[in-house]
Amino acid sequence: SQERCSALEQDRAKLQMTKEAVEQRTRELRKEGELLRKSLEQQMSLNRDEERSCQMLPALPEKKMVFKGLVTNKEDMNKLVLTPVIRYPLLGGSALITFEKAEVAQRIIEAKEHVVELSYGEELEELDRCRVRVQAAPVDILLPSALEIRMTRSSRSILVSDLPSLGIPEEALLDKLELFFSKTKNGGGEVEGREFLDNSAQVVLTFAQDGVAEPLIARGHVQVLIGKGKYELKISPCMSGDITNLQFQPSRCPRTVLLSGIPDVLGEEPMRDTLEIHFQKASHGGGEVEALAYVPAGRQRVALFTEDAG
């Protein structure tokens, strides 16, 4: 019993210490909040003064702003977020229709077959009250569920960025970079390969020998004479990745329906409008249509599926 009382007393002391620590942190946070509020008020006051001064100045110099993100969960730092972009082949005589609500799509799929009245537009004056039967089915796609990439760092390559926009051809700029980095006085060596990265203003330079890239990467920046100006370029390690494991899982689109068996009896636009009119009516089990893509018979297209923000 005495030991139990002693344990309880220790627990009470720990709780008291925890409570005091929380109260202390709360006071600190309040002080920080008050300082932040005052800082914001001062900034707003300065902004108002700047707005008044802008009326007198013809132009103000541009100011570069840097946003530094806050990592809230250290466990997520080494995680890769996949945002799949799925290309879905769409055969002729079919359509993809996406409803605003998933329950509407489910109703359309459960009905399986739908009779669509083709009484739209002037093209069907002679075919008044003509009807066609179309089949509705769910859209199943494969989404990546796991991805593993093995990253390797090149021992002979560097990534050159912060390149100036000089309006010269890419090959001419590559020549100038190769000329600079091939000289030992600049810390370089014989250049074996050079290329622009796809869709970026970055160049990968590969040296013929080991031991050249690492000292340049350690420097981080070098000043390069290009034309009549000197420019500070950033030097970074060149990383490459190989996919070692990629797994998929089937997924059903909740709001999209595949319509098939659509006969080629109307023009593309009239048929698309006719389908949308039919399937947005509540009397046909439909609802508000968000998007509709129709492919006439004899043609093929590819639909693009992205992550549903809703």
Mean pLDDT of 137-142: 89
Stretch 92-109: mean pLDDT:
90
User: According to the model, what pLDDT value does residue 57 have?
Assistant: 37
Task: Find the mean pLDDT for residues 89-115.
Answer: 89
Q: In the chain, where are the structural domains located? A: 1-56, 85-147+245-306, 149-243
pLDDT of residue 206: 94
Residue 45: per-residue pLDDT: 54
Instruction: Assign 51 a pLDDT band (cuts: 50, 70, 90).
Output: very low
Higher pLDDT, 124 or 153: 153
Q: What is the mean pLDDT of residues 110-115?
A: 89
Single-letter residue type at 172: A
What percent of the chain is modeled with pLDDT above 70? 75
Please give the pLDDT value at position 3: 67
Examine the pLDDT at 238 and tell me if it is beyond 60. yes
Query: What's residue 301's pLDDT?
Result: 85
Inter-residue contact 115 to 133 (CB < 8 Å): yes
For residue 155, pLDDT over 50 is answered with yes
Q: Read off the pLDDT band of 208 (50, 70, 90).
A: very high
Residue 42 reports pLDDT greater than 70: no
133: which strand partners?
115
User: Each residue of 240-279: pLDDT tens digit?
Assistant: 888 888 888 888 888 999 988 888 888 888 888 888 889 8
What is the overall mean pLDDT for the chain? 79
Least confident stretch, 43-57, 68-82, 133-147, 178-192: 43-57
pTM (2 decimals)?
0.50
Q: What is the pLDDT of residue 209?
A: 92
Q: What is the pLDDT of residue 310?
A: 45
Least confident of 54-68, 109-123, 205-219: 54-68
Distance CA 137, CA 124 (A): 28
At residue 192, the pLDDT reads: 92
More confident residue, 262 or 65: 262
What's the confidence (pLDDT) of residue 218? 93
68 vs 54, which has greater pLDDT?
68
What is the 3-state secondary structure of the chain?
CHHHHHHHHHHHHHHHHHHHHHHHHHHHHHHHHHHHHHHHHHHHHHHHHHHHHHCCCCCCCCCCCCCCCCCCCHHHCCCCCCCCCEEEEECCCEEEEEECCHHHHHHHHHHCEEEEEECCCHHHCCCCCEEEEEEEEEEEEEEEEEEEEEEEEEEEEEEEECCCCCCCCHHHHHHHHHHHHCCHHHCCCCEEEEEECCCCCCEEEEECCCCCHHHHHHHCEEEEEECCEEEEEEEEEEEEEEEEEEEEEEEEEEEEEEEECCCCCCCHHHHHHHHHHHHCCHHHCCCCEEEEEEECCCCCEEEEECCCCC
Fold designation for 149-243: Alpha-Beta Plaits (3.30.70)
- How far lies 309's CA from each of 83, 91, 134, 305, 306, in Å? 11, 27, 29, 12, 9
In this predicted structure, what is the pLDDT of residue 69? 57
Tell the burial category of 33 from Cβ atoms under 10 Å away from its Cβ (0-12, 13-18, 19+).
exposed
CA distance 136 to 92: 15
